[in-house]
Amino acid sequence: MMRVIKKIIESDNISEIKQIPSEWNQYYTKLLMCHRLESKCRILMAQIIDTSNRLQKASNHGNVEYCESIKIHSNDLHFCFGDIPIHNIQYEQKMSMKIIHEYALNKDYATLVFDFSNFSTKFFYSLLKSVTRENIIDGYRLWSTIPCNVKHVTIIQSESVVWGVILKFGMSFLTEKMKQRITYV
């Protein structure tokens, strides 16, 4: 199953954007400060604009805008994987995008906490049954297009049976430089 998810992410063949929409200028400027290649920034911009357009359609069928899985604690962006509401993943991603990018646009660097402490094997299988191809691509894009440098990552581990598989899968997307910035708790 993890190979299928990785193939979905790797099949995301979006081409670089030629003209940056004015409402994305600040975001693009921040990306340019993080990445050496302008062509990479233009691809990242195309990805996040595509994701943003898709997520704007999401609704929580209520009046309250709320994100369950991502919070800002002190200066850390804290993502609790086990708090993803599997009944409305697209809306959660919409609200996550808002928090992630507001946080990153106001920072020179990010410190991230990925909390898997309440993550269970049962939740993992429920999540797999609920996600769509677009949810997988958008979730990956939300984290891969953060418009600031990531200074440090803390991973709070799980005792779930599938934890080792999840960790190995996630690490397969990281550069060696990024792996050196991780602390496990």
Show pLDDT as tens, one digit a residue, over the chain (185 residues): 566 676 667 666 778 888 999 999 999 999 999 888 898 899 999 999 999 999 988 877 665 678 899 999 888 999 999 999 998 899 999 999 999 988 998 888 999 999 999 988 899 889 989 999 899 899 989 988 899 899 999 999 998 888 888 888 888 888 899 999 999 99
Count of helix runs (H) and strand runs (E) in the chain: 8, 5
Q: What is the pLDDT of residue 63?
A: 57
- The C-alpha angle with vertex 170 and arms to 39 and 157, in degrees rounded to 5, equals 140
Q: Where are the alpha helices (DSSP H) in 1-132?
A: 2-10, 25-34, 38-55, 89-105, 121-130
